[in-house]
Structure 1
């Protein structure tokens, strides 16, 4: 992991009125990409937002303010970054692409010169990043997450930084539906329960394909998570809860008595633990809320 600092010269364009950052449009996105020789890749899940109204809407929906240190994942060419800098007190971006990580500080200096000292970029894989890799502890997560690893990245960062009190992420619409699904619904599953462990989860809007370059083949959605203190932040306990969740949904057609037999050691032990947690052994996992899984983990 590396914290990237780039020395830049004076802004190459006229500064906007006041100290508000200028935002990128389609022409600027393509010019920046051509300048650094970047072609968006499916491997890294790269789709760059080029619509200023969309990034403004994301920032507004996030509810961040001047007191927030915002963590952004996959800033790309800087569209959302610039909008975040217009509101947040500080922005720390995690970028896996070394070419993009090298260029974005210069973009910030050119388009948001009054805010450039409030920005850092960390060259790292968001799935592997640790607390020590960041120069400051974030209080919010706002990101257009790479779609191929969106859920693992979201859960990793929420677990790594309990100080994050709010998250607003853009993901594939189907994934957004799963994350925000309530118990008993058709799309309720492992991502739904694990996200709810960290806080209240809700859909925060839809995003069309035409605001991206290149245009993805799927629709996108915004998901908001408001942190609660309902469950322990201890990593070992959280992993114990997540182990029960994984077991319950590995065979979602089975009753909990059968689905948890491997986790508990036997069907009889699974039934004992379920009854100890006040749960009907004949129920299926899709009917249980996160609190039920927490109680089950405490029976170990």
Structure 2
């Protein structure tokens, strides 16, 4: 049931992309603002209570609904799985930006590529240095886009997939999606409309997601290594993951960059591009061709994940 649910949800998302901001981000933002306004007393325990209400309650409800529907009909439970996965995972939340940036780079339209990159970050595109040439600007944009795409593929696909498989029903998918959002919105204050720092109130959200994300980031990194350049991916993972302040992002980026044989910018995945930062990966400067290679890497990693689920399903049937 899990494999079929994932496949159908991914197909639906490709055929009819979900308006992610309208149906997922805006409702989660409204919930986060509601709880913050009523529970934020500036203490860590207030943030802990708000996180439990925002994350565990919906995750438990998703699991309870699944089992209630399964008691009535397995088909209804399967449809519930598909619906929840359709809301919580998918490529189309970010793939259109990546595709449009790649096309702009191939056409040599750097201003448009920068504009798209800025829109993807949710902030104005960072102006490149005046003393660099067009090729270097193109490389900077490409490596920033690849970095963001690798992290987005983890957060919107592989992380959700791992938690969905590990927890009963669709509760894992709900848990990961909301915890990921709150880690940014409360914990790191990225994407907040007021740009405010929540301090102690958001500390638990950031820490809780780091714990939840511990296994998924390593599963994603392992997948990139297996379907890409394994030796370089493992080497970069072991030696460069700590160059990113967020350990989860660092592991995904280091492994992905090594698997692609390209140099990436660690801090390009969050909302800002910093100057004079250390690169991760090995090999060539990123360009539009490497962006296409990144697409292939992500899809191969997804196919590997689905194949493993299929083998586990067969193993379960054989042992029954």
**TM-score > 0.5 by shorter chain:** no
In our comparison, the structure showing a higher alpha carbon Rg is 1
Task: Name the structure with the higher helix share.
Answer: 2
Give the TM-score band, short-chain normalised.
under 0.3
Q: TM-score, normalised by structure 2?
A: 0.23
